[in-house]
Amino acid sequence: MTQTSFDIALWPESSDDPALEAVVAALYRLDPTGDKVAAVLRETFDQLYDGQHTGRWKFEGLYKTEKTHMGTLVEINLHRAFDFDDGIDMDYRIAGVDVDCKYSSRPYGWELPPEVVGHLALLLHANESTASWHAGMLRIQPEHLTASNNRDSKKKLAASARANIHWLWRDHGRLPQNLFYRLDDETRNAIFAARAPRGNQHGQARLNELFRRVQGQVIRRAEVATVGQQDDFMKRARNNGGSRTYLRREGILVLGHQDDDPLVAKALGLPVPQKGELVAARVTRAKVGRTDPVAEIGGGGWALARPEDPVELAPEIPRGGR
């Protein structure tokens, strides 16, 4: 994606458009922090990648038609997440007002059809590589559009109209990060290149390598699926022959959101995994004189291992009925 920066220093502090203000107020009631919109954008990227079946993880790896489809999916997924009413002439009806939804993978790249003129538009953009997103509201007027149009009679937003955008969730703007963008090439390549002696176990080998190399940070369900590329990818990350079983002998815990895992993660000073998230870490028996955070597991004290600590068999965390 070719990116240019957003100039968001020119927010209008007030509006003389009561309908716009009503829609903005309704959106803030539904999503005070912007986290819900950010989650929809994150899930839409993951939906397009379909990593479980394709192994893809980056926007640049999509086909042109898939990139174009992103806008339609954002519109649909926001509709579902917020349960907006159907619009009369536009996509949604929010606070009794028709609102169109427009997404662009390029900053200020929204393409607007003739029928949106005079209506409010919810303008969205997200950037995977910078883990950022923006949303704004604008009542589209003829003077806001460029003179030229494309084959569908759509016009782009004129540069002079940018100062009229009422930016939403202006202090948010962080997209839940895509793990694979953060990893260096060597680490990422080693994860996806992992192979098992038996040909049908390559997905398990990739997952094991993921948890060996990515420790102390949240790994999302979609990322596990992209690495595992199997129907039972979450099972492969857990016990009964999954990564928890394989990596225990290497001193590595794979923690989820169930049983005592969140308590252990918190005690060790790790991010606490939520539903659909995992966190891996190598541990060692707590040593006298060290001030590391300690988790009580199976009657013993355990701390995060340092590079110089020898490998020990990791403890088993009690699991209800499993």
At residue 273, the pLDDT reads: 96
List the chain pLDDT tens, one digit each, 322 residues.
344 455 554 445 556 899 999 999 999 999 999 999 999 999 999 999 999 999 999 999 999 999 999 999 999 999 999 999 999 999 999 999 999 999 999 999 999 999 999 999 999 999 999 999 999 999 999 999 998 777 678 999 999 999 999 999 987 879 999 999 999 999 999 999 999 887 668 999 999 999 999 999 999 999 999 999 988 888 888 877 789 999 999 999 999 999 999 999 999 999 999 999 999 999 999 999 899 999 999 889 999 999 999 999 999 998 865 4
Whether residue 295 is contained in a domain is answered as: yes
Domain membership of residue 233 as a residue range: 184-304
Domain boundary residue, one of 105, 135, 168:
168
Judgement on whether residues 70 and 191 belong to the same structural domain of the protein: no
Judgement on whether residues 22 and 164 belong to the same structural domain of the protein: yes
Determine the Cα–Cα distance for residues 247 and 254; give it in Å rounded to an integer. Answer: 8
CATH of the domain at 214: 1.10.10.10
Judgement on whether residues 34 and 140 belong to the same structural domain of the protein: yes
Strand partners for 278: 219
CATH of the domain at 126: 3.40.600.10
Judgement on whether residues 188 and 297 belong to the same structural domain of the protein: yes
| Alpha-carbon radius of gyration of the chain | 24
Whether residue 9 is contained in a domain is answered as: no
Judgement on whether residues 199 and 281 belong to the same structural domain of the protein: yes
Containing H/E element for 192?
Answer: helix 185-193
Whether residue 204 is contained in a domain is answered as: yes
At residue 140, the pLDDT reads: 97
First to last CA, the chain: 45
Judgement on whether residues 93 and 126 belong to the same structural domain of the protein: yes
Judgement on whether residues 300 and 244 belong to the same structural domain of the protein: yes
Judgement on whether residues 70 and 135 belong to the same structural domain of the protein: yes
Judgement on whether residues 37 and 119 belong to the same structural domain of the protein: yes
Judgement on whether residues 232 and 145 belong to the same structural domain of the protein: no
Cβ-based neighbours of 14, under 8 Å, separated by 6 or more: none
At residue 2, the pLDDT reads: 40
Judgement on whether residues 191 and 163 belong to the same structural domain of the protein: no
Judgement on whether residues 27 and 58 belong to the same structural domain of the protein: yes
Determine the Cα–Cα distance for residues 100 and 18; give it in Å rounded to an integer. Answer: 17
Whether residue 297 is contained in a domain is answered as: yes
At residue 239, the pLDDT reads: 72
Question: How many folded domains does the chain comprise?
Answer: 2
At residue 196, the pLDDT reads: 86
